[in-house]
Chains A and B, each alone.
Chain A
Amino acid sequence: MIPGLGPIAPSGIAFLALMSGLVLLAWSPRRDLFMQALALTGAVMAISWLGPRDLLAMLAFQIVPFIVVRRMWGNKQAAAGQTAVVVIALQIVLFLIFKRYAWFDVLGSISLPVSIIGISYILFRQIHLLIEAPYLGHLPFSAGRYMAFTLSPWTLIAGPIQRYDGFCKGLAEIGRPANDKLLAALHRTVTGLIKAFVLAPVLLPSADIGLLGHPSSNWLDFIIVLYSYPAYLYLNFSGYVDVVIGVARTCGFKTLPENFNHPYLARNVRDFWTCWHMSFGIWVRHYVFTPLSTALIRRAPAQLAGVMMAVTVMVTFYLVGVWHGTTLNFVAFGLMQGAGVVISAFFEQILRRFLGRQGLQALDKNKLFHGASIFITLNFTCLSFLLLENQPADLARAFQAFFIP
């Protein structure tokens, strides 16, 4: 922590000063120092948040992956080697310890609280590098680039999760954007600030399902509570992402991936996860779902391929739930989403069997079916979001009051 300066957050003047510094450097003739400045900015933000013990933990979390990635860089003989697997396992154990999961609170028992902001986003980048280092040899790699990649301000705040090749391309293009692009970037930043810090907070107080315990609560109250939290979550998260993408584009860094694409208009749960926190969805698909499902299906009898796929979906969404939070509520959320994916895939398979490909396409184009699909998916999503921040007793009381005669 920096004496006299609180934690640096996107709503504060210190964040504005740091980002302004990055923009000025990106527009200056010394833009070649941008990468170092990016790492330094992230480090200043981390120092403003963390105590000495946390910073030591962060250092420990960063060093081993760097050494191993450096050794494997461009060396295809090292692909699929045991070293990367061991280091990934080590990092996951450290992540579980530092994140202080309710069911894995090793540090709590020895009274040594450690917290690292953005640790999951750092871990995602480390795993990406550990798996793909042998194939990325055509790109430059150094301690400075590693620090900038894993500690950039957008890593620490809200993602998005970026691939290393996209990061290098972004760095190569740093500079003052054309006026129309600059206006669009600033517009995006201001929109993000309004979404995250003006609109989202208005919705949070009404998102508490405990409010429905009042005897006079009616269905309108239920609907307000049901939709408030998803609306808050979207405005808050996408607002943060708008801010970091806007700032990055103001610096000429154009390759930060998008994270949202009208998620509440998704036609089914699978569709939802291609529109919500998209960079996370792509990461999970690349490094969890595809390797796990291909491994299981290759080893299982052909007639069990569908079962193996369903098992993989449930395991993947269990991990998605665990990643989102440290309590069992998040596990329940993940499993509910996983079940939603399995059921929607099964339903589509049945429709395809009866209607054929063209019949299914025609049904998808039917406005009534399309609207009903969006409505069902939206409400399923909103119901599952209720699990995230509410106490099980409050949830049970509300559902008893509204759904059990």
Chain B
Amino acid sequence: MDSAAIYEKLTPVFRDVLDDDALELTPALTAKDVDEWDSLTHVRLILSVEKALGIHFATAELAQFENVGQLADMIADKLGDA
């Protein structure tokens, strides 16, 4: 799955969890940029992304991404390995 396809999959998930239909995902987007993105919604985001893409994140992986771009890279790695 290429980067554009990953963003296409991620966008509705982020919009649904963060309750913002106008949210545009960019690689630099972080939790600091979205009021609703706190520790609690972060967990919902992780679980929703896992479900939407059929993948599973390890604790070490979850601790390493700081923005959407790093999340997308991690997903590309995981889908590439699959």
Whether A132 lies near B64 (C-beta < 8 A) is yes
Q: Which residue of A lies closest to B41 (CB)?
A: A345
Given A270-B40, A294-B47: A135 and B61 within 8 A (CB)?
Answer: yes
- Name the residue in B20, B38, B42 with the highest tally of chain A Cβ atoms < 10 Å from its Cβ: B38
In the complex, whether A83 has a CB less than 8 A from a CB of chain B is: no
In the complex, whether B4 has a CB less than 8 A from a CB of chain A is: no
Whether B63 lies near A345 (C-beta < 8 A) is no
B49 to chain A, nearest CB (A): 11
In the complex, whether A53 has a CB less than 8 A from a CB of chain B is: no
Whether B60 lies near A270 (C-beta < 8 A) is no
Q: In chain B, residues 2-59, which have Cβ atoms closer than 8 Å to a Cβ of chain A?
A: 19-20, 35-36, 38-40, 42-43, 46-47, 57-59
From B19, B35, B36, B46, give the contact of A290 (CB < 8 A): B46
In the complex, whether B79 has a CB less than 8 A from a CB of chain A is: no
Whether A270 lies near B39 (C-beta < 8 A) is yes
Whether A79 lies near B47 (C-beta < 8 A) is no
A270 and B43 alpha carbons, distance in the complex (Å): 14
Whether A135 lies near B39 (C-beta < 8 A) is no
Q: In chain A, residues 251-308, which have Cβ atoms closer than 8 Å to a Cβ of chain B?
A: 270, 274, 285-287, 289-291, 293-294, 297-298
Residues of B near A357 (CB, < 8 A) are 19-20, 36
B47 to chain A, nearest CB (A): 6
From A134, A286, A361, give the contact of B35 (CB < 8 A): A361
A285 and B60 alpha carbons, distance in the complex (Å): 12
A287 and B36 alpha carbons, distance in the complex (Å): 22
From B36, B40, B42, B60, give the contact of A131 (CB < 8 A): B60
B44 to chain A, nearest CB (A): 8
A309 and B38 alpha carbons, distance in the complex (Å): 13
Q: Which residue of B lies closest to A298 (CB)?
A: B47
- Name the residue in A135, A294, A309 with the highest tally of chain B Cβ atoms < 10 Å from its Cβ: A294
Whether A290 lies near B42 (C-beta < 8 A) is yes
Q: Please encode chain A, from 334 to 365, with 1 for each CB lying within 8 Å of some chain B CB and 0 for all others.
A: 00000000000100000010000100010010
Q: Which residue of B lies closest to A289 (CB)?
A: B39
From B46, B47, B60, give the contact of A135 (CB < 8 A): B60
Whether A79 lies near B38 (C-beta < 8 A) is no
Size category of the A interface is 20 to 34
How many chain-B residues does the 8 Å CB contact rule pick out? 19
In the complex, whether A184 has a CB less than 8 A from a CB of chain B is: no
A79 and B20 alpha carbons, distance in the complex (Å): 35
Given A294-B46, A357-B19, A357-B20: A286 and B62 within 8 A (CB)?
Answer: yes
Residues of B near A92 (CB, < 8 A) are none
A270 and B40 alpha carbons, distance in the complex (Å): 9
A152 and B33 alpha carbons, distance in the complex (Å): 33
A298 and B58 alpha carbons, distance in the complex (Å): 13
Whether B20 lies near A287 (C-beta < 8 A) is no
A137 to chain B, nearest CB (A): 12
In the complex, whether A80 has a CB less than 8 A from a CB of chain B is: yes
A128 and B64 alpha carbons, distance in the complex (Å): 11
Whether B58 lies near A297 (C-beta < 8 A) is no
From B36, B40, B46, B57, give the contact of A309 (CB < 8 A): B40
Whether A309 lies near B43 (C-beta < 8 A) is yes
From A80, A135, A352, give the contact of B19 (CB < 8 A): A352
- Return the 8 tightest CB-CB contacts between A and B, nearest first: A286-B63, A291-B59, A293-B43, A132-B60, A357-B19, A131-B60, A285-B39, A80-B58
List 24 A-B residue pairs with CB atoms under 8 Å apart, sorted by A's residue number.
A79-B60, A131-B59, A131-B60, A132-B60, A132-B64, A134-B60, A135-B60, A135-B61, A270-B38, A270-B39, A274-B38, A285-B39, A286-B63, A289-B43, A290-B42, A290-B62, A293-B43, A294-B43, A294-B47, A297-B43, A297-B47, A345-B40, A357-B20, A357-B36
18 additional contacts (CB under 8 A) given A80-B58, A286-B63: A80-B59, A80-B60, A134-B60, A274-B38, A286-B59, A287-B63, A289-B39, A289-B43, A290-B62, A291-B62, A294-B47, A294-B57, A294-B62, A298-B47, A309-B40, A313-B40, A352-B19, A357-B20
Residues of A within 8 A of B (CB): 79-80, 128, 131-132, 134-135, 270, 274, 285-287, 289-291, 293-294, 297-298, 309, 313, 345, 352, 357, 361, 364
